[in-house]
A and B are shown apart, each in its own frame.
Chain A
Amino acid sequence: MIVAEKKPMEEIIEEVKRFENILVLGCNECVTVCEAGGKKEVGVLASALRMFFLKQGRKMRIDERTLERQCDPEYLEEIRDVADGYDAVVSLACGVGVQFTAEHYPNLPVYPGVDTCFMGVTEARGMWTERCQGCGRCILASTGGICPVARCAKRLFNGPCGGSSDGKCEIGKDTVCAWQLIIDRLRALGRMEEYERIAPIKDWSTDRAGGPRKIVREDLAP
């Protein structure tokens, strides 16, 4: 999932204080799972904003709505009939949803209510960690299913650097060395010969190096 974190209230207030009618718009997908921008968080943020502006003696209309997804046109259409009634939207979707909402409603200012962080997993209750950087050319087959692009601080492809110590990364004791994980797993799988192979130099053209990316599936196009 795409993992996001709630933005500080002060930052959101600073963006929306000039408006009268605001829609706080949540997303039922990833940001709901990571508890940053689902229906529950929409309610909490909208209430907090109402209280803040009420204390200031401001009469503001702050409505709540949560869409199934903000990254699909069909769900964004669901607010078509009410969009004109708002001066601004605070979207609690990831950066994708914020942008797609803005694209669909060109005259409506859309502000982000979360900081989009990474693609990751729920490692434990209240803890999410990164697993994938979407580099566009998956090498997990040769690294025991553990990604050095996303999980090694230096994105190394041929084993750990000199900073690996006791299975931890040099950036901090809380960070596991991805290559320690890879080696442990390859050994457990009896595939250590794969570790001996020198990885080919990475082609980053499928990553962001080649500019904004696009996939076109002609078999699916209408």
Chain B
Amino acid sequence: MHLMQFRKKLEEGSFVVLAEMEPPKGVDTTVMTGHAVKVKGKVDAFLVPEMSNAVMRMSALGGAMVLQSKGMETIVQVCCRDRNRIALQADLLAAYACGITSVMAVTGQEPSYGDHHQARSVYDIDLLELLTAVSTLRNGRDMAGVELLGAPDFLMGASVNAGAPGISPEVEADDMKKKIDAGARFFITPPLFSVETIAPVLKRIDRSAVHIIPTVLLLKSLGMARYMARNVAHIHVPDALAERLETAPDRVRECVKIAKETISTFRAEGFSGVLLSTMGWEHKIAEVLEGV
């Protein structure tokens, strides 16, 4: 059965709520499905990352199929790092045949970031070529031009680096335009804590042509906020947030409150939706989403 709530809501202009759901490192999926089932109905779709940070775990396709089999919609990530064009296309066909109707294309981080740093990365095709490949499949042919027996009608998205330091908004907007031309219909941003970070890029693109979905990251501690502010170049954590956490009587509750407020802000600012990323605190998804 093809689940299409995500696409339907985007098309209607309703605010979509996505949650990130990492597959396990191992074959026991009970924890993952347990977290997902708890918020079934509150989340429109689960975004299943493809071995983020180059850490080996169950593939996105595998994790997504487990969730789909329990009636939960997923957006599966497809990544240029580990598969060549033959494997990518094959997995895309498998994904659609298993009821997955939305994909998000990502470049993938270098293996040196992860836990298999001796691995050889693939990068047979890059992100833009992958988007083009998905569009080609949608049109009923593979990258070699051979006709398919049934074409996958994917809704396709991509990552966007909007707001990263050192990249001009002009370059970023141009990059988004190229991805839109290649068939991307939604963009998921890196974690954003304020609209200001992405505003210079948004001014330069046609918002009606594409859906922008910011990632809302649930901070877990003051230390995490400070660490990210100092060490994660592409994520801007405002000083005010760290100060707020420092003085909060219950920091965990404050972290949840910040995530709730961030979601509300993005909704009020007219974004198409949000992706909630809880990085191991999936048991908090329900609490964050309550009442927002």
Contact = CB atoms under 8 A, between A and B. Distances in A.
Interface of A: 201-205, 207, 209-211
Contacts of A204: 118-120
Nearest to A201: B118
B38 interface: no
Interface of B: 110-112, 117-121
16 contacts: A202-B118, A203-B118, A204-B118, A204-B119, A204-B120, A205-B111, A205-B118, A207-B120, A209-B110, A209-B111, A209-B112, A209-B118, A209-B120, A210-B110, A211-B110, A211-B112
Chain B contact residues: helix, strand, loop or mixed: loop
Contacts of B111: 205, 209
A92 B118 CA distance: 35
A209 B108 CA distance: 13
B276 to A, nearest CB: 32
Q: Could you say which of B110, B111, B120, B121 has the most chain A C-beta atoms within 10 Å of its C-beta?
A: B120
Nearest to A155: B120
Contacts of A211: 110, 112
A205 B112 CA distance: 8
Q: Which 9 A-B pairs rank lowest in CB-CB distance, beginning with the nearest?
A: A204-B120, A203-B118, A209-B120, A205-B118, A209-B121, A205-B117, A210-B112, A204-B118, A209-B111
Contacts of B120: 202, 204, 207, 209
B145 to A, nearest CB: 22
A207 B117 CA distance: 11
Q: Could you say which of A202, A203, A209, A210 has the most chain B C-beta atoms within 10 Å of its C-beta?
A: A209
A204 B119 CA distance: 6
A153 B118 CA distance: 21
A203 B119 CA distance: 7
A171 to B, nearest CB: 16
